Amino acid sequence: MRNNIFAHIDCNNFYASCERVFNPLLRNKPVVILSNNDGCIVARSEEAKALGIGMGVPYFKVKNVIDQNKIFVFSSNYTLYGDLSERVMNVLSNFTPNIEYYSIDEAFLSFNKIYLNNLTDYGKSIKEIVLKNTGIPVSVGIAKTKTLAKIANEFVKKNSKLNGVFDITNFPKMDRLLQQVPVHDIWGIGSQYAKLLMKNHVLSACDFKNIDEHWVKNKMGVVGLRTCLELREISCINLEETIKAKKGIMSSRSFGRYVTELDEVEEAVSQYTTRAAEKLRMQNSVCGSLYVFIQTNHHKLHEKQYSTGRTISLQEPTSYTPELIKEALYILRKIFKKGYKYIKAGVYLSSIIPGSDIQLSMYKNTEHTKLNSVMKAVDGLNLIWGRDTIKFASSGIEQKWKMNMCYRSNRYTTNWDELLMIRI
DNA sequence: TCTGGGGTCCTAGGACCC
DNA sequence: TCTGGGGTCCTAGGACCC
């Protein structure tokens, strides 16, 4: 029997909720979390939203409001958020084997309705158990397609009477419900398509649902068409249950300050390559090409701008960090120009294939095995003793270019030195 | 002074081949 | 001087997501 019901689970204000789990003083207080480099606001508690702090706005623009209202500010602490996310997902996976880990704070579950007589009650128990076991509040939207489940969840967030769960699998007035959803709030409709649709007098999810299919296919391709059909309760976006290996791996950061000297950019690029290669090995892959880019600050129009990057194809696919660093620095030295104030650099690994695909065919087989075991040992030590216990000299010691992280909370769950201390 | 960092999929068009 | 049609593969770019 086919699963025909989807639940969308969304952690409420996830990063803010994570901070609250280990810091009860933050309960009922306004909290915001900053992006990497303490640049923008990326998460807000309800209280902070109520004070008018917008999503994605640069920190310096709202710093006054934040200070005046004594809003708590945190740098992002992805180590902590990643760990709590894993805990939430673990709890969710007890409810059904059919689960998609959609993002750090969202999941889709699917199940068969005939085994459940009351979906709303089921949703409530999901919510209660996740909260009890992890301390993270979630909301639940239930529908016949993933797109509609997302929409149901949006209603949950706007309407406290729903108590965190909204089941629209047999909603009697679906059109009236969808009329309340602006077209740009539909999952899969971004700013460009929203503009196009509004120009054509398609203003709500209801309008989009009832639009001519051929027009959609023509203007928005098959992706747009799928979204349209999903609003008609025809499920065409499947649950992605298997975690696929990444096809591209990026590591890039803005610098904490301007960098003008080659040797400092070299340190950064070396560090980012190290990080990307770790991710690559984590999924047991190797990469066949590598892209390096550097950028000046494009927000400063009056400053001299230079933004460039270059790709290199590797002779043999590899995940061996020293080799990748060598290639990355080779590119960097080709593209680097003196006389500019650089603000960001990055490394992107692509042409990714499973490591097992090359090992057999490699004539330098034994050499490969040796290098692999070296990297395995390094990864193992860094896992146990913390990131960068063993690092590469080319990444520098002082790392003056490092991003700002002025307000980071402790990594309560993953670092021995940062466990929660309780005085008794 | 200060503006994030990742990813995915699809499509159009060019290169190349027979 | 004329100069087909169909297929594949690759890449860049555009849309989207969190």
> Hunting for tokens 């692509």 — which residue is that?
A350
Q: Is strand B in 7 Å reach of the CB of A40?
A: yes
C-alpha–C-alpha distance, residues A110 and A128, integer Å: 18
Residue A55 carries which side chain, given as an amino acid letter?
Answer: M
Q: Is strand C in 7 Å reach of the CB of A105?
A: yes
Residue A65 pLDDT class (50, 70, 90 cuts): very high
Q: Is strand C in 7 Å reach of the CB of A194?
A: yes
C-alpha–C-alpha distance, residues A107 and A99, integer Å: 7
A361 CA to C1 C1' distance (Å):
52
Q: What is the pLDDT of residues A91-142, one digit of tens each?
A: 999 999 999 999 999 999 999 876 778 999 999 999 999 999 999 999 999 9
Q: Is strand B in 7 Å reach of the CB of A358?
A: no
φ/ψ of A60, rounded to 5, equals -65, -25
The residue whose CA lies nearest the C1' of nucleotide B6 is A250
Q: What is the pLDDT of residues A5-64, one digit of tens each?
A: 999 999 999 999 999 999 999 999 999 999 989 999 999 999 999 999 999 999 999 999
Residue partners of A273: CB distance under 8 A and separation at least 6: A251, A290, A321, A324, A325, A328, A347
C-alpha–C-alpha distance, residues A339 and A118, integer Å: 67
Residue A364 pLDDT class (50, 70, 90 cuts): low
Q: Is strand B in 7 Å reach of the CB of A344?
A: yes
Q: Which positions on strand C lie below 7 Å from a protein C-beta?
A: 12, 14-18
Secondary structure (DSSP) of A275-299: HHHHHHHHTTEEEEEEEEEEEE-TT
Per-residue DSSP letter, A416? G
Report the nucleotide nearest the CA of residue A193, measured to C1': C15
Q: Is strand C in 7 Å reach of the CB of A106?
A: yes
Residues 140-169 of A with CB under 7 A from strand C: 150
Q: Is strand B in 7 Å reach of the CB of A250?
A: yes
Residue A359 pLDDT class (50, 70, 90 cuts): low
Mean pLDDT of A403-408: 89
A288 CA to C13 C1' distance (Å):
22
Residue A3 pLDDT class (50, 70, 90 cuts): low
Distance from chain centroid for Cα A300? 27
Nearest CA-CA partner of A261 in A348, A333, A347, A346: A333
